[in-house]
Amino acid sequence: MKTELELKEIVKAKYSEIALQDKETNMSSCCGAGGCSTEVYNIMSDDYTKMDGYMADADLGLGCGLPTEFAKIKEGDVVVDLGSGAGNDCFVARRSTGTSGKVIGIDFTPAMIDKARANAEKMGFNNVEFRQGDIENMPITDNAADVVVSNCVLNLVPNKHAVLSDIYRVLKPGGHFSISDVVLVGTLPNELRNAAEMYAGCVSGAIQKEVYLELINACGFKNVVLQKEKPIVIPNDILKNYLSETDIINFNQSDLGIFSVTVYAEKPLNTCTPGGGCC
């Protein structure tokens, strides 16, 4: 079993390669990086092209949902996007915040930050900012954000509890998040769980759906709502890279479910004090 640091380095290396590729190349391979057409990213992404604020150069085809569609962003809001990549969700969010609001993207891959900043400069957006940092310890002050969004990123972080804790910290009392992520119902085969490509491809880092929702509640969030859920089917031409023919048959006949979910939750107006049982 790899350590948290090793897993983070796998993700950072893979997404650094992705940042230098276009959307078509990324969507033809698992993690964008690697020139094969038999891997996993392109089976998850949703279509952003009809959303207001969409910028083609910022869309690397890496998400598993449309969290900004469900995020209830209002004009003047401060929005934080976790794992902002080339800026896709940030630019869509800015359409809702207007010029009176602010959007902050957080990503720990320097190449992604560079790409996102170049996209923002190209569009002349003065109220969209990109900061390099770890989403377990965001470079953002307490109680700063009205809304937090994230698209298929928490499953890339080994310590999901720490991320949810930090989301709680940066949200204003009464603020909320809308997050798209990958979750499991049932047990993933060890061959898939231990594959670095499947971890960076947003599958083997996913946790059980019930555990995911329990973590959100345990961190003090209220009014937790499952806004959208869709099944993810991994094609056999991907599975054959990791499983035997017999194992593929067993996998397809198993009760395992892999889902993209979009979850909404609120930070209470009356927040608890440190040491009072909060996450």
Tokens of 228: 């959208």
- Half-sphere CA count of 60, side-chain side, radius 13 A: 28
Domain assignment present for 279:
no
> Of residues 28 and 162, which shows the higher confidence score?
162
Share of the chain above pLDDT 90, in %: 59
| pLDDT at position 16 | 74
Domain assignment present for 272:
no
Domain assignment present for 277:
no
Q: pLDDT tens for residues 96-131?
A: 999 999 999 999 999 999 999 999 999 999 999 999
Residue 275: which pLDDT band, with cuts at 50, 70 and 90? Answer: very low
Domain assignment present for 275:
no
Domain assignment present for 139:
yes
Number of domains into which the chain is organized: 1
Domain assignment present for 32:
yes
Residues 6+ apart with CB under 8 A from 209: 183, 184, 185, 259, 261
Domain assignment present for 278:
no
Residue range 42-56: mean pLDDT, rounded: 79
Domain assignment present for 65:
yes
Residue range 222-237: mean pLDDT, rounded: 93
Residue 205: which pLDDT band, with cuts at 50, 70 and 90? Answer: confident
Q: pLDDT tens for residues 69-83?
A: 999 999 999 999 999
Residues 6+ apart with CB under 8 A from 222: 265, 266, 267, 268
Range of the domain at 45: 4-266
CATH of the domain at 172: 3.40.50.150
Contact 179, 262 (CB under 8 A): yes
**Residue 136 and residue 108: Cα distance in Å, rounded?**
10
| pLDDT at position 248 | 93
